[in-house]
Structure 1
Amino acid sequence: VLCARMFFVFCIDPSLGRVDVHSLSEQTLIELLIDGVLNKEVITGNHDDITDIRTWASLGFDEENRIVSIDWSQQDVQGSLNLQWLPVKLQNLSAYENEFCGTLDFSSLPSALLEIQLQDNNFVGPINLCRLPRAMSVLILRENYLNGSLHLESLPSTMTILSFGGNSFHGCVSLMHLPKSLQRHSLSLNQLCGEVNLTQLPQQLEGLFLNENKFCGSLDLSQLPGKLRVLYLSFNNFSGEVDFSNLPESIDNLNVSHTLLSGTIVCTVANRPKYKV
């Protein structure tokens, strides 16, 4: 089986475009997916040959024996992932807290994919968010070495969690057209800059983390979402007078420390919110 797979890969002509993944077996797709993994035995459970994937506890199958979930988290896996070979029915990909490296190509992800969790790895390079599956709801990429700019204007409308913290993204970002369903959004610990508009955030948003960047300019906090509980703006270059009188009642954790902002915050003893200024 392994020899046949290698022969198949070597016969692919890049000039002919991408091979139709629908024509490949689940076994072949997984073998191609982990072709860049250095310690495959951690995933396969075998130091010699790649075993039948139906015996792998890390894979979840539907009633038609199509792979719908992959969980390779916290296994010290080393090497790269060829995301173009993800199984076509895959819904959940979890491979966080490993030693995965290389770039992330999101240009041809399965249309069924709902969640990607690749945090705490060594992925590098820019990412393209313009062609994510339209039903995707969770994308967690924090604590890697990703860089480049972030374009957040064309995200799937179903997105609920976005986590890009702890990378090296730079440039300006727009928060004006985020998905209406978004509940948690983290851009902390990057090198993002410029002004941010917080007047058109999604009404479902409960947590926004912009801390430890290079954002600047004034802030309008008068139209924050009614469900917002956590807002971290600390360690930025925001400046000017801020009207804190219209903060939503839901907010219980506000951090604007290590900025140049000024203003008066009224803290009620009954609710005991955690404000850090």
Structure 2
Amino acid sequence: MTNTTTTTPTETETKFATQLFDALRTQHPLNAADFADVVADEDAAYRVQDHLTTLKNQPVGGYKVSLTSEETQKMFDAHNPLYGAQVQDHFLAAPAKVRLGQLMDPLVEVELVFKAKETLSPEDSLTDLWHKTTVAPGLELPDSRFADWFPSLAKNLVVADAAVGGLVVYGEERDTDQQFDSVDAVATVKCELTHDGETLKSGVASEVLGNPLNSLHWLVGKLAEQGRVLTKGQRVSSGTFVLPPHLTAGHWQATFDQQLGQVDLDVTND
């Protein structure tokens, strides 16, 4: 069951994916205005993303879901979330160390990171997903191959650029149905983001489509539309609790309540 509208890029889309890959490899950002008319619609953007993923020539470790709050959807003139495939080595176990030089223009988001314990199906209910996953506290570092991308990059360019995927740092993983008494409890998690000991942001999981499990449910359904499945072992960074600040050097920590724990990240200037 392969959706050819998603998997067969045009010559123009293939060229665009190659330019994105070159920008990633050389860390020379692209000018968004030069690509305003390259992707006609969201399907085209996902075809570009798919070819970009192929060029990376690495296993897909999972996905990130973006535009999961009303606020961010308005910023990018969108009405639905979007996803980006993330290669395996872009998921880092905490505590992690990252050099600013590894990334181009990164932000910092606090998220719940789910991992599939078995292949997930679009027929799965939220309760099924609660049973079939682990959950971990997370810090996501969105990044883009376009200069001056946040908060004004066109939505289809965000999609093409792997949903501005950077790195995902995840903490201790526990069975979701052991960590939370119910599906609804997942929505009540609170988090505080600090940088060098100073609190920058606080947020709650309900910012993510009302419940981060809704984000995972959306992703599984969207992948199914494209003839794809979320398989055992793949992780999903499900959406940010807060409007993200820019990543800078220093010690970052996200502390989650409900005994989820914390995620520590040290960022150096080199």
- TM-score range normalised by the length of the shorter chain: under 0.3
Structure having the higher Rg: 1
**Greater relative CO, 1 or 2 (CA 8 Å, sep 6+):** 2
TM-score in terms of structure 2 length: 0.26
Larger helix share, 1 or 2: 2
